[in-house]
Amino acid sequence: MERKIIRTEDLTIQDLPPGDAGWSQLTEFALTFDPVAEIGEWAWSSNLLQYSDSSSVKEIRSYIYFMQRAWHDRETSESSLNEMGKAVLLIRSKLLKE
C-alpha cells in the first residue's frame, strides 16, 4: 500500500491523529511527511530530535518523523510516545491559529 504524503502547507487538522493516539496512529501520521521533499536534502542533525513552542509546523513534523524512524523496529518507550503526542498537539494549536 502506498502511503499518502501530505506537504506541510497542505496539512489540515483533519489530517492529525487524535490527542490520545497510540503508536500505530502516530506512525501513520509521521509517515505522511517526506523529509527529502520538504527539507530539500537528507541531512541528519541532532536538532531534528527536539522542538519547542517556537518551532515551525515543518520542524515539528520533522521531529515526529525522525522519532518514528528511530523507534519503528523496537518497543517504543512511553516517554517517546508521550513526546510525539505532545508534538501533534502543538501542531494542532498552530494550525488553529492560522
| Secondary structure (DSSP) of the chain | -PPPP--GGG--GGGSPPTT--HHHHHHHHTT--HHHHHSS----GGGG---TTS-HHHHHHHHHHHHHHHTTSPPPHHHHHHHHHHHHHHHHHHHH-
Per-residue confidence (pLDDT) for residue 74, from 0 to 100: 75
pLDDT in tens, 34-75: 988 888 766 566 677 789 999 999 999 999 998 898 887 777
CA separation for the pair 44, 27 (Å, rounded): 20
Residues 6+ apart with CB under 8 A from 89: 19
The yes-or-no verdict on residue 82 having pLDDT over 80 is: yes
The angle subtended at Cα 38 by Cα 17 and Cα 29, nearest 5°, is 15
